Amino acid sequence: MQQVLRAPGHRYARRHFDWKVITLVGIAHASSHFFQLVIPSLYVPLSLEFGLSFAELGAVVAVFYALSGLGQAASGFAVDRFGAKPMLWFGLGNFVLAGCVLGAAQGYLWLLAAAAIAGMGNAVFHPVDFSILNRRVSAPRLGHAFSAHGITGNLGWAATPVFIATLTYFFSWRIAAFGAALLLAAVLAMTVIGRRLLTVDVVRPVVTNDSAIDAAAGVSASATPRGGADLPARPVPAKAAGGGSLKALVSSPVLWGAFLFFLCTSAALSAVQNYTVPLLGSLYGITTVAASTALSGYMVGGAIGMVGGGFLVSAGPHSEKIVAGSFLAAGGILALIALQVVPSSFAVPLVVLAGMCAGVAGPSRDMLVRKVAPKGATGSVYGLVYSGMDTGSALAPLAFGALFDAGLRQAPYFGALLAFLVAAGLAAWIASRARASAGAPAESRAGATA
């Protein structure tokens, strides 16, 4: 079938197939972002129902992101070993179960259990999504695929408060939780029906050493013995190959640099998501409703920026320049707001503009990681580096919250600027290492990119 789709006379069929894959993966990705905000959207009714403080409720969310971050790195290897489709079903199934546990909760331990189940489900999505997109979408539309992937995530975030608040208002918070479970069950059914679009063959490494992964990590070819260069390649048992890949990935500086890159980007996003409303109220006297509109505008602006970012990443090879420029612009705008040098009437539009700037970087960010992903280890790489997002989401609110409580009301936006600056520097470093490995001799470079 792949040969038919690639034939010159079937370009329309290829394009149609690509967009069906992009759409289905995007819906699944939106569902993961949707569930990330289910428990935070129920803070008030859960506090009233069980007599919990917001610190205790925050600990529930911390459990979610802690398990998601730990599980994401491991799930990447599971995706490479067992395939993307079964892991996707595992993640969606966990969300359905977590929603049911949440709806039936009888105490704090039930909430912690629901968060733990959901966190393990959330762990699989980035390794699954990018494994499918990299393997099933043709190169001319890959940048648009990454853009659509980011957009659907933002839309998932935007949909949760409306969905949960509406069901809670007309029925109860328990019905809202069960409704979330039902919605995720519908998405699970869609992926089962469209399973043909999600089928990705499991790739086993066939090299006898870690030279391919060393190349992706930027290790000099001279560090690899050349005596075996003329030996015929022979398959390595899956267990041995997987062990070698794990060892090489964990010891790769460039991949840990990518981990820190995502930690910084999620820390910046966390600053905006958690503190925009109190920051604008404190510095500019903006009402809670207007500040909430600014936060929603940041997410919508991010989605719009990702659309343009999809075209930019397809237009040239230097994705790190797009990332750096977008992050510097977003961080600079947030810093201007924090410095109180703009009229209060400009504060909300500027937050939206910052979201657009940050959104432009999304597709280029994902393409940057693809450059350092060895063939056959795509899921492992994405699982490792994207776990940095969960780490940043778990740690940043605690740090920024302490500073905010100490009276440093501008700290979250200045912190976002600092995080964006560090992320821009890391993007340039990662790209330079990727180009260095691309210039290595062929036998060291083989399979260095997915």
Residue range 141-197, pLDDT digits in tens:
777 777 787 778 878 887 777 788 788 888 999 999 999 999 999 999 999 998 888
CA dihedral 438, 442, 445, 448 (to 10 degrees): 90
Calculate mean pLDDT across residues 250-267: 82
pLDDT at 377 over 60: no
Residues of the chain with CATH 1.20.1250.20: 23-197, 246-435
**What mean pLDDT comes out for the span 87-106?**
94
> Lowest-pLDDT range, 74-88, 100-114, 195-209?
195-209
pLDDT in tens, 276-297: 877 888 899 888 667 777 777 8
pLDDT of residue 80: 73
Single out the residue of 291, 283, 265 nearest to residue 410, CA to CA. Answer: 283
pLDDT recorded at residue 209: 39
- pLDDT, residue 444, reads 43
Collapsing DSSP states into helix, strand and coil, what is residue 152? helix
Q: Is the separation of the CB atoms in 422 and 263 below 8 Å? A: no
Distance CA 418, CA 402 (A): 17
Average pLDDT over residues 54-59: 73
Per the model's pLDDT, the better-predicted residue between 241 and 107 turns out to be 107
**Considering the entire predicted model, what is its pTM?**
0.64
Instruction: Report pLDDT for 102.
Output: 96
Is 70 exceeded by the pLDDT of residue 208? no
Q: Is domain 23-197 given the CATH code 3.30.70.100 in the classification?
A: no
DSSP H helical ranges for 1-83: 2-6, 11-36, 38-41, 43-50, 54-82
CA 20 to chain centre: 21
Q: What is the DSSP letter of 10?
A: G
Residue 252 token pair: 């790769």
- 427 touches 367 (CB < 8 A): no
d(CA 315, CA 313): 5
- Asked whether residue 112 carries a pLDDT value surpassing 90, the answer given is yes
Residues 6+ apart with CB under 8 A from 89: 188, 191, 192
Interval 387-433: pLDDT, tens: 778 788 878 777 777 787 778 888 889 999 999 999 999 888 888 87
Identify the CATH number of the domain defined by range 246-435. Answer: 1.20.1250.20
Judge contact between 337 and 437, C-beta under 8 A: no
- Which of 114, 95, 97 is closest to 105 using CA atoms? 114
Question: What 3-state DSSP class applies to 372?
Answer: coil
Percent of all residues in the chain with a pLDDT value above 90, rounded to a whole number: 24
Q: What number of residues does the chain have?
A: 450
For residue 60, the model assigns a pLDDT of 83
Query: Which comes out higher in pLDDT, residue 225 or 65?
Result: 65
Torsion on CA atoms 241, 242, 248, 253, rounded to nearest 10: 150
Q: Assign 382 to helix, strand or coil.
A: helix
* Residue 227 in this model has a pLDDT that exceeds 70: no
In terms of Cβ atoms closer than 10 Å to its own Cβ (0-12, 13-18, 19+), residue 388 is buried
Closest CA to 271 of 206, 355, 348: 355
pLDDT value at position 230?
A: 35
pLDDT band at 241 (very low <50, low <70, confident <90, very high): very low
pLDDT of residue 149: 79
Tell me how far apart the alpha carbons of residues 436 and 426 are, in angstroms, rounded to a whole number. 15
Looking at residue 43, its pLDDT comes to 75
Give the pLDDT mean for 104-115.
94
